[in-house]
């Protein structure tokens, strides 16, 4: 049973940057596909980014591609999501998720992930 805890959210001005962290316990993150999703008020939870350790690949949604980078630290069993050039529309609760043996086509799908964190709020002011 993997337990995920996100942190690093907060209030930031448009144009700024944030680095979110997701620390895992109860399992080794490098054996999972790990993703970030976000959910704005009144909207569905949407895919942001994912990493597949085994294939050393990263995948990003169109909404953040080019200003977002996902990385990981095996020693700390932690993944990070850095978003630059933040926009007010990036305001949401950001969730970390982990799933086993995911195909690339499954990475953007919420239902593919069996483990979720509690989320961290990101608010971008204009």
Query: Which pLDDT score is estimated for 90?
Result: 97
Give the whole-angstrom CA distance, residue 122 versus residue 64.
14
The number of angstroms, rounded, from the C-alpha of 71 to the middle of its chain's C-alpha atoms is 10
- CB-based contact 123:11 (threshold 8 Å): yes
- Taking the chain, what is the end-to-end CA distance rounded to the nearest angstrom? 40
Query: Which pLDDT score is estimated for 57?
Result: 87
Query: Which pLDDT score is estimated for 98?
Result: 96
- CB-based contact 70:90 (threshold 8 Å): no
Query: Which pLDDT score is estimated for 123?
Result: 98
* Closest by CA position to 95, among listed 11, 1, 8, 29: 8
Give the whole-angstrom CA distance, residue 104 versus residue 79.
18
Q: What is the pLDDT along the chain (126 residues), one digit of tens a residue?
A: 899 999 999 999 999 999 999 999 999 988 999 999 999 999 999 999 999 877 778 999 999 999 999 999 989 999 999 999 999 999 999 999 999 989 889 999 999 999 999 999 999 999
């Amino acid at each position: 049973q993997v337990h995920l805890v996100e942190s690093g959210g907060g209030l930031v001005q448009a144009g700024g940057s944030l680095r979110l962290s997701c620390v895992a316990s109860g399992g080794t993150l490098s054996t999972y596909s790990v993703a970030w999703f976000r959910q704005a008020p009144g909207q569905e939870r949407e895919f942001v980014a994912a990493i597949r350790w085994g294939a050393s690949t990263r995948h990003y949604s169109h909404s953040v591609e080019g200003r977002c980078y996902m990385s990981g630290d095996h020693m700390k069993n932690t993944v990070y999501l850095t978003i630059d050039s933040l926009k007010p529309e990036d305001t949401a609760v950001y969730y970390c998720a982990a799933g086993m043996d995911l195909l690339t086509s499954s990475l953007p799908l919420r239902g593919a992930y069996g483990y979720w964190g509690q989320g961290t709020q990101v608010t971008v002011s204009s």
